Structure formats: C-alpha cells, structure tokens
C-alpha cells in the first residue's frame, strides 16, 4: 500500500470515530462531538433549538460519511494522480478551518463559551497536524514516484 493510501486510511479511521461520536454521543467533549460548546447544553433545553442542533449535528456527520466513502473509493480504485490530487484537495479544504472556523471558536472561547479552556488552540494544532501529515505524505509519495 502506498504512502497516500496509508495516510488516507488513517484519516478515514479518525473520521469514522468522529461520525460515531456525532451520531451516538453528540454531547461528548471528545473528537468532533459538540459537548465542548456551552451553547449545546443551552440549546438542548429549548425544544425548538434542540431539534435544529440535532439536525445540524446529523448533517455534519452525514457529510463526513460522504467524504469517508469517497476516500475509500479513491484508495481502492484511484490512480496515483487521483490520490495525489485528492490529498491536495483535503489540504486546501481542511485549511479553510483557519479562515472561517478558527476565528469563531477563538471568539467563543474568549467569551467563555467553551467547556474546555485552550480547546481552540488544541483544535488548531490538531488540524495543522493533519495538513502537515498530508503535505509530507504527498512529498514522500512524489519523491518515490520520481525516483522510479
């Protein structure tokens, strides 16, 4: 199995764990579950907001499932070029966290809206690590590809 397939496989595994959390225990503070947001508990107390939050959480989980299945298909049937461009696409799409979501979560954290102090920094490090691992995998793969 090539480097890109291994890295994609590990990403799939992590995302599967996130989907399980979102579907089964969305109030958890682990992974991508939403228990880290104080507003989640407040929303659960209001029936109208609760159903909206449930819908959005399940929508995110379903979207993650779409990516998981697509990535599995790419690992199984994708050409080397497809795998390279898929990983590059993941790098760019994951990087949007820093322009869109990170400022929001920093603002929530500064306003006391998170149950875990330092969560935004931990999340940013985790996401930057994903990007770095994906970038390194592309470089390693391309070096191996051009050596042969």
58-109 pLDDT, tens per residue? 999 999 999 999 999 999 999 999 999 999 999 999 999 999 999 999 999 9
pLDDT at 103: 98
Whether the pLDDT of residue 148 is over 80: the answer is no
pLDDT at 1: 86
pLDDT at 43: 96
| Token pair in block for residue 63 | 């979207």
pLDDT at 145: 87
Say if residues 19 and 100 touch (Cβ distance below 8 Å). no
Whether the pLDDT of residue 51 is over 90: the answer is yes
Would you say residue 147 lies in a domain? Answer: no
Measured CA to CA, the distance from residue 144 to residue 96 in angstroms comes to: 29
pTM for the model: 0.91
Q: Range of 69's domain? A: 3-142
Name the average pLDDT for the chain.
96
The DSSP bridge partners found for residue 114 are 37
Average the pLDDT over 106-124 and give the result.
Answer: 96
The percentage of the chain sitting over the pLDDT mark of 70, rounded to a whole number, equals 100
Would you say residue 119 lies in a domain? Answer: yes
Would you say residue 54 lies in a domain? Answer: yes
Would you say residue 148 lies in a domain? Answer: no
């Amino acid at each position: 199995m090539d480097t890109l397939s291994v890295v994609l496989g590990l990403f799939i595994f992590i995302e599967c764990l996130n989907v399980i959390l979102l579907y089964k225990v969305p109030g958890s503070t682990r992974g991508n579950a939403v228990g880290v947001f104080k507003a989640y508990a407040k929303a659960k107390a209001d029936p109208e907001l609760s159903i909206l939050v449930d819908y959005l959480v399940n929508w995110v989980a379903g979207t993650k499932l779409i990516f998981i299945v697509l990535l599995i298909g790419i690992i199984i049937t994708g050409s080397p070029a497809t795998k390279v461009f898929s990983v590059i696409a993941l790098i760019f799409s994951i990087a949007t966290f820093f322009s869109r979501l990170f400022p929001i979560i920093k603002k929530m954290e500064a306003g006391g809206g998170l149950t875990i102090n330092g969560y935004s920094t931990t999340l940013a490090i985790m996401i930057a690590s994903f990007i770095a691992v994906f970038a390194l995998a592309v470089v390693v793969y391309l070096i191996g590809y051009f050596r042969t």
